[in-house]
């Protein structure tokens, strides 16, 4: 879709990754491979390949977990981010089945990782409490530094 009489000599929609002419694309015009993986999306701040433009050529810096607990929490944050970012898209385009399938996949992975974390290190949310006692208030919290003060 080319805008007539614009002051630019390029297709404005193609800059955002939209193209309605190619048959292998889904309803909204994104190609099947329009998404990056959850790790890349988390670091960039969005899941869409064509929606990332680094500020003045700068790029993101990969995070490096220092222990297994941090690594698992980092994976949870990645999947949670992917779920939320795809949710925003699906709010506007609920008929996009391919993105919905990715959304369901990331949701399932996120739930599994949160359950794994709760079993190994304690609950991340109130609905994950289990066992014979109320564990929600026990330290350390996921964001506390291990080995440091009990208090934030």
pLDDT one-digit tens code per residue, 42-77: 998 999 988 888 888 788 888 888 899 999 999 999
Q: Per the domain annotation, does 141 fall within a domain? A: no
Q: Per the domain annotation, does 57 fall within a domain? A: yes
Phi-psi category of residue 56: left, alpha or beta, with phi > 0 → left and psi -120 to 50 → alpha: left
Q: Per the domain annotation, does 29 fall within a domain? A: yes
Q: Per the domain annotation, does 104 fall within a domain? A: yes
Q: Per the domain annotation, does 47 fall within a domain? A: yes
Q: Per the domain annotation, does 146 fall within a domain? A: no
CA 52/CA 48 separation, integer angstroms: 7
State percent of the chain over pLDDT 90: 39
- 21-25, 52-56, 87-91: least confidently modelled range: 21-25
Closest CA to 28 of 79, 78, 91: 91
Q: Per the domain annotation, does 65 fall within a domain? A: yes
Q: Per the domain annotation, does 143 fall within a domain? A: no
Q: Determine the pLDDT at residue 53.
A: 80
Query: For the chain, what is the domain count?
Result: 1
Is the pLDDT assigned to residue 3 strictly greater than 50?
no
Q: HSE-up of 85 (CA within 13 Å, CB side)?
A: 24
Q: What is the mean pLDDT of the chain?
A: 75
Measured in whole angstroms, the distance separating CA 13 from the mean position of its chain's CA atoms is 24
User: Mean pLDDT over residues 90-117, rounded?
Assistant: 94
Let me know: does 63 contact 31? Beta carbons within 8 Å.
Answer: no
Which domain range does residue 21 map to? 12-128
Helix (H, G, I), strand (E, B) or coil at 48: strand
Let me know: does 69 contact 146? Beta carbons within 8 Å.
Answer: yes
């Amino acid at each position: 879709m080319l805008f007539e009489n614009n002051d630019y000599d390029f297709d404005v929609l193609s800059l955002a990754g939209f193209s309605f002419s190619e048959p292998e694309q889904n309803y909204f015009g994104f190609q099947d491979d329009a998404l990056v993986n959850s790790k890349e999306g988390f670091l960039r701040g969005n899941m869409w390949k064509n929606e990332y433009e680094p500020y003045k050529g700068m790029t993101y810096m990969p995070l490096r977990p220092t222990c297994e607990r941090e690594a698992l929490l980092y994976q949870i944050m990645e999947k949670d981010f992917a779920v939320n970012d795809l949710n925003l898209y699906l709010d506007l385009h609920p008929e996009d089945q391919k993105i919905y399938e990715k959304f369901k996949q990331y949701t399932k992975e996120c739930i599994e990782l949160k359950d794994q974390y709760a079993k190994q290190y304690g609950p991340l949310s109130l609905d994950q409490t289990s066992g014979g006692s109320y564990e929600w208030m026990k330290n350390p919290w996921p964001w506390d530094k291990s080995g440091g003060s009990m208090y934030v």
